[in-house]
Structure 1
Amino acid sequence: MLQHKFRKIYSIQLILFLLIVIFLSGCVTSKKKKIRERRLDTIIQTARSYTGTPYKWGGVSRSGMDCSGLLFVSFKAGEVNIPRVSRDQAKVGEKVKFRQLEEGDVVFFAMGKRRRRITHAGLITEVRGKNDVRFIHASSSVGVVEANIYTDYYKKKFRKARRYF
């Protein structure tokens, strides 16, 4: 009888312990998710704050910006360190498939004559729908601007995507 009582008490303590562990792990996951969301918001808002900035090769300021500079400055504002040049930026982070793009992902393009050489990059800012995914980039002709990656032009030039965090 006494042994049965101890088993019952032990079982109740074990269940309580497991419930506490499950509850606390949910809090940690939720906290990490909120931190990620805040970082993403900072990164995207920083990039958008450069909208209209003219294109300048090697530029990283409001007087002129290139595509990899826009990413470098924006991610730095979100406390995420990435390489400065797009071809190096394309080598880090987790690979992402075109159909699985999310806000904060970085997309890479081959804009020159060489079809495989990464020469351009942009940041996914908004997923509006199946065929409407916005990205911000520094275009050599119009400066920093947002566009839909699902246009024929960008789909043809797309080479890869990465997720940094």
Structure 2
Amino acid sequence: MLNLQNNIGVKLLLCAFAWTLASCGGSKRAIQAETERVNTISSIVSYSKTYLGTPYKYGGMNPSGIDCSGLLHLSFLRYGIELPRTVKQLSKTGKSLNFKHVDVGDLVFFRTSKTSRKVNHVGLVVYRTKKTVDFIHSSSSQGVMISSINNPYWRKNYVKSRRVIY
């Protein structure tokens, strides 16, 4: 009887050990997935910055001229993520976020037209601190540039944020 109890104890101990290892493996996979996500976002942000100074061109998708959604489309596509091509479609892609949860790699949407109530501009968050969010976008007046949400113009016209890489 003592042997049987010891075997049961050993089996329970082995099961507990196996469960612990399995959960560690799950954590390892989760850490690996998060590392890949962060690396992908970092690469997308870096690539988007290669377009800094590129002139704005409605519908443009190359270094001679690019619009806001074209900038995001090309930057994400470079790393195998195909996003919709228009601001309207992008504004429905991914997961909606409260602004306080916005992070690098998220999309920020704006309504800049005085005659329309529709979202018509998008940027990619490239920098985040407790006090500011900076985003890259293609401005119709200045081309591809980095702006701050702290700028009164962008703060006033901000509509929503979305996360497309989880």
Q: Give the TM-score taking structure 2 as reference length.
A: 0.95
1:37-116 mapped onto 2 (5 Å cutoff): 37-114=38-115, 116=117
Q: Is the 8 A contact 1:56 1:65 kept in 2?
A: yes
Distance 1:138 1:131 in 2: 23
Match of 1:132 in 2: 132
How many residue pairs are counted as aligned between the two chains? Answer: 164
Post-superposition CA distance 1:124-146 (Å, at most 9, x none):
0010x222211000001110000
- The Cα of 1:97 is off from its aligned counterpart by 1.1
Amino acid at match of 2:16: I
Distance 1:23 1:91 in 2: 36
Aligned pair 1:141/2:141, yes or no? yes
RMSD: 1.1
Distance 2:90 2:113 in 1: 18
Amino acid at match of 1:149: I
Amino acid at match of 1:136: I
Amino acid at match of 1:163: R
Distance 1:47 1:141 in 2: 18
Counterpart secondary structure, 1:145: strand
Structure 1 residues without counterparts, runs of 5 or longer: none
Post-superposition CA distance 1:12-39 (Å, at most 9, x none):
2112101210221111011101110121
Match of 1:123 in 2: 124
- The Cα of 1:115 is off from its aligned counterpart by 5.3
Counterpart secondary structure, 2:134: strand
Post-superposition CA distance 1:38-72 (Å, at most 9, x none):
21011101110100000011011000010000010
Match of 1:152 in 2: 152
Q: Percent identity?
A: 31
Distance 2:28 2:68 in 1: 37
Q: Is the 8 A contact 1:98 1:161 kept in 2?
A: yes
- The Cα of 1:2 is off from its aligned counterpart by 2.0
Distance 2:116 2:11 in 1: 66
- The Cα of 1:81 is off from its aligned counterpart by 1.3
- The Cα of 1:91 is off from its aligned counterpart by 0.6
